[in-house]
Amino acid sequence: MFAKEVYWQRRKILRERLGEGLILFSGNEESAMNYSANTYHFRQDSSFLYFFGIDKPGFYGLCDVDKDRDTLYGDDFTIDDIIWMGEQPAVSDLAASVGAEASATIKDLETVLKQALQAGRKIHILPPYRGDHFLTLSRLVGLDQEGIKKLVSQELIDAVVGLRSIKDQYEIDEIEKAVDVAGLMHTTAMKMAFPGNFERELAGAIEGIALAHGGPVSFPVILSMDGQTLHNHYHGNELSAGRMVVCDAGAQTALCYASDITRTFPVGGLFSSQQKDIYNIVLKANTETIKASIPGRTYREVHLMAARIIAGGLKDLGLMKGNTEEAVAAGAHALFFPHGLGHMLGLDVHDMEGLGENHVGYSKSLKRSDQFGLAYLRLGRELEPGFVITNEPGCYFIPALIDQWRGEKKHAEFINYDQVEKFRGFGGVRIEDDVLITETGSRVLGTPIPKTVEEVEETMKV
């Protein structure tokens, strides 16, 4: 955990921004995999972690804005818990460690919340995203699911997004640790990417690295020779010469901060000239748009710059044609680059997405586009110092999409479909880094991970 003052200060600012009422943060419960004693790896709710820091199931945090008081609620551990789980701290010790008052029973919370509602006080909650959140909240406040939904507070969402979007030095240090573990994961995958090995062997090895560093992985490993499938979790193929592996994977630190890194590398260690052509276009989109990621510029502008670099590069290769600006404005590049340039990163891989993607990535003055491709851009708004974002351009050859667009003659004035056919079966390339927006520009976080054609081939030399 961070020092207790960190949590205390965050809650103080939050209370000041809310003005009145009670703010309730639900910690997560264990989640059953196939029967209740066999659980998934426990993952605490990220906003609860941010404000109350306790990484254990069964806790609630309540900030009383009117009384300037924060209370941690949880049932004290019993002797049965201690027999199965070992010695446990008292709720009062846990509360003291994050600068809050303690109440050692959840029943007290139920009483406080029901009294508050009867007295007409406002209770602010964040959007529930697990079924059991509704059940427990329903019991605690005595409202049905529709009543719970009415407690979801836009004021609270805005205040939490405002705070969590700007990372402090403690958080940046944690994310850099997560990136460094990811670096080891990716270089290990590169060194294993030889014909005869199976994708699952690479995926298993890198997941093990995250675990060995205190992990788990920050999201299920995406690793496949079929990199044209953007989030491919199937790892059953045997690696074969002439293909590339897209590996999109990150680690979670002990304090639950995430990294999210993608590298693409050739099976056998050497890129073909066709692979280099596409790879270097994506690399240019990545490096040029990291340089262009500066405070005051919208990430939508930066995304469109990446799109123009990719479309321009594909035009040089004869896959696209016509005016590049016009092609991108029309959305023709999205045949090859159908997703967004990136998203916020922090305690969540897609940071704060559970609070509503548009509340995090867009603003009153900038609304999300509905154009195919641009609509998938999770972060469009103006960049600010302290944002940690991903930069992840890609270029893919998705047979079903090519066939659909070709059949419809879609954007035929910008796409040379006959040339595109030559890349059917190519797969895809994505390169992803984690980037801090500074006062004057941006900085790629962590120790550099091999990225140029030469660096990747050097890493894979046997």
Going residue by residue from 218 to 257, which x/- string records binding to Mn ion, judged by CB under 5 A? ------------------------------x---------
CA-CA distance, 96 to 99, in Å (whole number)? Answer: 5
CA-CA distance, 220 to 250, in Å (whole number)? Answer: 9
CB of 260 to Mn ion, least distance (A): 4
CB of 433 to ligand GLY, least distance (A): 11
Instruction: Report the site for Mn ion in 392-411 (rule: CB under 5 A).
Output: none
Cα 400 from chain centroid (whole Å): 27
CB of 186 to ligand GLY, least distance (A): 13
Q: What is the largest CA-CA distance in the chain?
A: 73
Contact of residue 219 among Mn ion, ligand GLY, none (CB under 5-8 Å per partner type): ligand GLY
- Residue 348 binding ligand GLY, by CB under 6 A: no
Contact of residue 351 among ligand GLY, Mn ion, none (CB under 5-8 Å per partner type): none
Task: Return the closest-CA partner of residue 341 out of 372, 296, 373.
Answer: 373
* CA-to-CA separations, 316 to 277, 403, 411, in angstroms, rounded: 10, 23, 18
- β-sheet bridge partners, residue 123: 22
CB of 122 to Mn ion, least distance (A): 36
Place of tokens 């499938």: 229
Going residue by residue from 155 to 194, which x/- string records binding to ligand GLY, judged by CB under 6 A? ----------------------------------------
Three-state SS annotation for 77-118? CCHHHHHHHCCCCCHHHHHHHCCCEEECCHHHHHHHHHHHHH
With CB under 6 A as the contact rule, the residue among 171, 174, 199, 248 that binds ligand GLY is: 248
- Which residue, 174 or 260, is less far from ligand GLY as judged by CB? 260
Rounded-to-10 torsion of CA 115, 119, 122, 126: 20
- Which residue, 213 or 343, is less far from ligand GLY as judged by CB? 343
- Residue 8 binding ligand GLY, by CB under 6 A: no
CB of 240 to ligand GLY, least distance (A): 25
- Which residue, 124 or 451, is less far from ligand GLY as judged by CB? 451
Instruction: Report the site for ligand GLY in 250-269 (rule: CB under 6 A).
Output: 260
Instruction: Report the site for ligand GLY in 409-448 (rule: CB under 6 A).
Output: 432
Contact 113, 97 (CB under 8 A): no
Q: Which residues bind Mn ion (CB under 5 A)?
A: 248, 260, 390, 432
Q: Which residues bind ligand GLY (CB under 6 A)?
A: 219, 248, 260, 349, 392, 432
